[in-house]
Structure 1
Amino acid sequence: MRVLFFVVAGLAALYAGYWFVGSSQVEAGARAALAGMEARGWEVEYADLSTTGFPSRFDTTVTELRATSPDGVVRWAAPFVQVFALSYRPNQVIVVGPPEQTVTVAGQDLGVTADGLRASATVGWSTALPLDHAAVESGPLAVVSDGGWSLSLDRLLGAVRMAGPGANSYDLFLEGTGIVPAGLPERFGSLGLDQLRFDGQVVLDAPIDRRLAVPPRATALTVRSLRIAQGDVALGGTGELAPDAQGFLAGRITLTVENWRGLLDRLEAAGLLPFARGSLVERGLEQASRGGANLELPVTLAEGQVRALGVTLFDAPRVR
């Protein structure tokens, strides 16, 4: 029995030593991350950084955190940010955001309130700490600008995970529901969405790991599923896209439209219709749908233009 007591006591002492060494490394890593932002030109201030959670967790809290981008255009302030990790799984972390925070962009203050805002990430065990998967989620979230406009949504979920078989390939998922803008010009009042959902895969020019100094660029994008829905109108899509030699987005997307006439009504009311009602394009949509409410429409992006039904609709976005 005495031997067992000393064995248990020894193991407990070893684990306690592991926790205190681990917590010191976690704190050092957090401070190094903030110092890394400063090295890249950010101004970073915080009141306190500490780690608790003995014996089973590393709970790191940063209070009164403020950060300003190198050009001064973006400023962020939060009363706290918490990072949680199990002591026996330090490669898996959960980041919890405050219910209220402030983001300033080009002199415009944005108040952000969120219920249950959190993110999680898991990295590999190699020294490069490659991202395996990550997610961000929130319940009701609102952004209120001092410029008089606001945006709210009922739920937000975003996720990324390593995918194969190619290098630097990642699955992407994004969904927002109950998206409601307010304070915009009256014609935009009908642009609220019941659902915005994207499921796809992206290939980057560099892996997402601790060595990443600048945001990676996308070299290819697969749209497995896209859905934008409002009331009885819904827009879906699948396809393959990639930047061309001039940096314009190029490829082919197959759009599916539920109640295409209702979609035209909404775009026209918002002043976003790229052609006049009664034009060749609308007559082409009538033929493509064979007089029905729904249609499937191939859209081609090439040579810096977006084309459908043999007609150029608008310029393709430039992504490089």
Structure 2
Amino acid sequence: MKIAAAQYPIGYFGNLEDWKINIRGWVASSEDAQILVFPEYGSMEMASLFSGQIQKDLVGQIVKMNELLPDFLANFCQIANEFDKIILCPSFPVFENGRFVNRVFVVGPNGLTGYQDKFFMTRFEDEEWGISSGTKKLSVFETNWGKFGIQTCYDVEFGIGSKLLCESGAEVIFAPSCTETLKGAARVHVGARARAMENQCYVAVSQTVGDALWSPAVDINYGYSAIYSTPDLGFPDEGILAMGEPQKKMWLFANLEMEKIHEVRKNGSVLNFKSNSAIKNALTDSEIEIQHIRI
């Protein structure tokens, strides 16, 4: 299975048609990749379609953006059908049940297939932007080539979501992300590599790049895409399948072989995935003593 992870700059558009043309151009340039992943909050460029007053309003712009959600979904569904792709759309601040959630929609040749909400909010999302944690539901997406789940940005820095997804059959975790600094990007990539190792799976990171100084939400972006594996049997020594040049507008491609995931989980030098579940079960009913030793 060939995947493509976008290093995606936040654009500025004069009208909706220009935005549609941009998205179509990206998908058209994705070669023969079967699954495409766009980054977290890549949809925020649609706020450029509103007045300058709305563009500067951190909360007001996501209120208005929900008026464009039908166009957003229709465009991605049409393009996925035209190019015969599975697309993880850039995450969208969806207003639902009286709150905003950070949602990644997944579309395919037959239309909308499902979504994954972000669980863990950053301080900016929670304290300044008013984005809330989504419903605690994890989705495993099944394709002809394998199964995948989504852990959006901060979510991949914690082990629980990826563990549950992989225990439910996922061989690939996609991690769309939006970070401002090298430190922020590094936290996501460190988390992604840890998830790849402990679950003996693939993890693909897609990040926003460059500046969009007109936007108070996604004004500064530092990022690079990468596709990781566990550093074990059949994989690169450091577990890096591919890594993009930071801050460059591009697709990053990699071919994923699910047979290698099954093999390393069965016959790897270590059995992180198997041991992860076994350790949890073994420790559930065990009392672990903590010692305080003064030196």
Give the number of the structure with larger relative contact order, counting CA–CA contacts within 8 Å between residues 6 or more apart.
Answer: 2
> Which one has the largest radius of gyration?
1
| Greater share of residues in strand | 1
Structure-1-length-normalised TM-score: 0.30
